[in-house]
Amino acid sequence: MKALLEALKPNDPDRSLALSIDPQRLPAHVAIIMDGNGRWANSRNMPRVAGHKAGIEPVRITVETCARLGIQVLTLYAFSVENWKRPRAEVDTLWRLLRIYLRKELNNLMEHEIQLSAIGRLEGLPIEIQRELHAAEDATASNTGLRVNLAINYGGRAELVDALNVLLDEARDAGRLSELRIDEEAIASRLYTAGLPDPDLLIRTSGEMRISNFLLWQIAYAELYVTETYWPDFRRRDLLEAIVDYQKRERRFGGLKRSELNGKRWSGAVAVPTQ
């Protein structure tokens, strides 16, 4: 948070917005469905790929702002397992843009101590994309700041299927298949996001009110925030507005409001996460 305020000029219009954010109650994990690139381009009579190209700058800005705010994890939905249904030329352009992003941003990632990780069925990606992703992961592996997950060839259902198959394989290899019992921890610790906090805030741009197969398990209690802004127009102000909105919510996790509890104790054995 301090780093963000230091980066803002005294007369920057985002300053008062940033100052209204409580640094003690930041979301630990922000996840974003970056949507609306095609419509952004169409509205300008440009080809869809121009929207994808214009979508790189907000990625850069969002990553940098999250790092400066002191957010722990940012997960960006870049390509779903269903996006292969799109024309070949559009998909190829996305891979080209991803390579450009990785090459151009590496210095910036290092400077901000950002650790990059790709999540999804990476083995299904073109081999040179796999190589570049792994190179960027290796280069940033010992950075200790913001963790950025790029969800590529990602599907929430595919992730669950993969996690369950890992569980089955482990039990089979240990000769314990017949005793296998599954609990929530067994699943959570085999997801691509194992060890990371669940998203507190899920942002979707371009006004669509759907999840589109993103982080199905992890968003059980995420606060949802949908903005009409198309992804290529998403700027630091939009992110700060989403966080301000998030901080106005009362998260109950199935319990009651603090005011309704008034001295009464929680009844049960289930731990209620506090903020």
Rounded least distance, CB 112 to ligand IPE, Å: 24
Shortest spacing between CB 39 and ligand IPE, in angstroms: 3
Residue 50: contacted member of Mg ion, ligand IPE, none (CB under 5 to 8 Å, by partner type): none
Q: Is 35 a residue of the active site?
A: yes
Taking CB within 5 to 8 Å according to partner kind, which of ligand IPE, Mg ion, none is near residue 192?
none
Give the residue with the Cβ less far from Mg ion, 79 or 192: 79
83 is catalytic: yes
Only segment of 32-40, 75-83, 153-161, 216-224 that touches Mg ion (CB under 5 A): 32-40
**Least distance from C-beta 192 to ligand IPE, angstroms?**
15
**Burial call 181-218: b when 16+ CB within 10 Å, e when fewer:** eeeeebbbebbbbeebebbbbbbbbbeeeebebbbebb
148: number of Cβ within 10 Å? 26
Q: How far is the CB of 33 from ligand IPE (least distance, A)?
A: 5
If one asks whether residue 35 binds Mg ion (CB under 5 A), the answer comes out as yes
Q: Exposed, middle or buried by CB within 10 Å (0-12, 13-18, 19+), for 236? A: buried
In whole angstroms, the minimum distance from the beta carbon of 37 to ligand IPE comes to 4
Write 179-187 long-range contacts (CB < 8 A, 24+): 187/160, 187/163, 187/217
Please say which residue, 40 or 246, places its beta carbon nearer to ligand IPE: 40
Q: For ligand IPE, give the closer residue by CB, 78 or 202.
A: 78
Choose between 85 and 264: whose C-beta lies nearer to ligand IPE. Answer: 85
Burial of 27 (C-beta count, 10 Å sphere; 0-12/13-18/19+):
buried
Which among 158, 154, 118 is positioned nearest to 136, based on CA atoms? 118
Tell me the site size for Mg ion, rule CB under 5 A: 1
CB-nearest residue to Mg ion:
35
Residue 227: which residues within 8 A CB-CB, separation 6 or more? 203, 204, 205, 207, 234, 238, 241, 242
Give contact residues for ligand IPE (rule: CB under 6 A).
Answer: 33-39, 77-80, 83, 94, 206, 208, 210, 212
Q: What does the angle CA 33 – CA 120 – CA 210 come to, to the nearest 5 degrees?
A: 30
Cα–Cα distance measured from residue 105 to residue 197, given in angstroms and rounded to the nearest whole number? 25
The number of angstroms, rounded, from the C-alpha of 236 to the middle of its chain's C-alpha atoms is 16
Among the listed residues 37, 42, 45, 83, the single catalytic one is: 83
Of 131 and 210, the one with the shorter C-beta distance to Mg ion is 210
Closest residue to ligand IPE using C-beta atoms: 38
**Chain positions contacting Mg ion, by CB under 5 A:** 35
Q: What is the set of active-site residues? A: 35, 83
